[in-house]
Each structure stands twice: as structure tokens, then as C-alpha cells.
Amino acid sequence: MKPTRYLPLVLLLTLFFGALPAAVQYLYEPAAVEEQGVQVDSPVVMYSTQWCPYCSKARAYFERHKIAYVEYDIEASAQNRAQFQALNGRGVPLILVGDKRMEGFSVQSFEALLK
């Protein structure tokens, strides 16, 4: 048996089970928020990367709810990376709303941050 014979199957299973938790969270996102809209009184700033799935989810959420935000890709420039490090950022996305902050993204956590 050649070990490369099973490589496509292993990759497919890894992709499936790796993406499953994100897909479940996306499917069970509260729909009531879309009806009410989200009120943001302070500017929203997000430090992110292009490959981060939670950054993509945050972008989609902001666009869907028409939330204006400024995004800094920490891999696109040394200045963005330095700002991220100055904020003691440990993971992306790092989201700032006024003087409040959160690392990572979930709808529930972001809405709790706004309260």
C-alpha cells in the first residue's frame, strides 16, 4: 500500500471536521439581530489577516449589519503589525469599539461588547 493513496481522504476528512464547528455556529446565529439592527456609537477598528476565518466572519457580520469599521491587516504592513503589538494583541481578529476590546469573534460576544 502506498501512503499517498489515502492522502486525499485524510485531507477531505480534516477539512470537513475542521470546518464543521464554524459552519454549525454560522447556521445557528441568532436571526433576531438582523431584524433589530445593531447600533454602534463608537468607531469599530479591527486588526486582522486575510486567511483568518473569524476575521472573515466579522467582516461579513459588519457588512450585513451596515457597521462602519476600519480594518488593519497586520501582515500587510509593518506599521499595522507594530500597532497590533502595541495593543498587546495575541490573536486575530482584535476588535476595538471605543475603549472596549475583544480578541476573536462571535456574534454573541460582539453584541455583549456593545452593551
Tell me: the pLDDT tens digits for 9-18?
Answer: 666 666 556 6
Check pLDDT > 60 for residue 23.
Answer: no
Amino acid at 66: K
| 44-48: strand order across its sheet | 69-73, 44-48, 94-97, 100-103
Q: How far apart are CA 42 and CA 100, in angstroms?
A: 10
pLDDT digits (tens, 9 = 90+) for 39-97: 778 899 999 999 999 999 999 999 999 999 999 999 999 999 999 999 999 999 999 99
47 found inside a domain: yes
18 found inside a domain: no
105 found inside a domain: yes
Number of domains in the chain: 1
80 found inside a domain: yes
44 found inside a domain: yes
55 found inside a domain: yes
Residue 99 dihedral angles phi and psi, to the nearest 5°? -100, 5
Q: Which helix (H) or strand (E) holds 91?
A: none
Nine cell digits for residue 88: 498587546
This prediction's pTM: 0.67
Check pLDDT > 60 for residue 31.
Answer: no
25 found inside a domain: no
Q: Which pLDDT score is estimated for 70?
A: 97
Q: What range does the domain containing 53 cover?
A: 34-114
